[in-house]
Amino acid sequence: MLRGKKKRICRFCENGDVFIDFRDEKRLVRFLTEQGKIVPRRTSGNCAQHQRQLARAIKRARHLALIPFVSDIPR
């Protein structure tokens, strides 16, 4: 039962990237939710390999305070 969802292609594969650098946080932010959580594969459409690399990159960037662990949403 597909709900009319489009099949997404891994953006990193499209780009031909071999390695995801944790230094360019602007790129990583696109794969975070507003709260700062890592976007799951089913929504981002990344392939398994790149999702793993991305997760590592995000965690390294978080450790160096390049991107936040949590960003609060004012209610």
Partner 1 sequence: MEKLYCTIFVVDISQNPEEVETVSSRIQQLIEDHGGIIKKINRWGKRRLAYPIQKKTHGYYVEIEFTANSRLNIPYTLEQEYRMNDRVLRYLTYVVDKKELIQRAKKAGEKAKVEAKAAEAKAAAEAEAKAKATEEEKKAETAPAEAPATASTEETAGKSQADNGQKATEEAAPVAETKEASAEVAEEKPSTDVKEEKEEK
Q: Which residues touch 24 (CB under 8 Å, ≥6 apart)? A: none
Instruction: Check binding of 34 to partner 1 (CB under 8 A).
Output: no
Closest contact distance (angstroms) between CB of 41 and partner 1 is 20
- By CB under 8 A, is residue 35 in contact with partner 1? no
Q: Which stretch binds partner 1 (CB under 8 A): 3-11, 13-21, 39-47?
A: 13-21
Convert 55-75 to b/e letters by CB count within 10 Å (16 or more is b).
Answer: eebbeebbeeebbeeeeeeee
Residues that bind partner 1 (CB under 8 A): 16-19, 21, 25, 60, 62-69
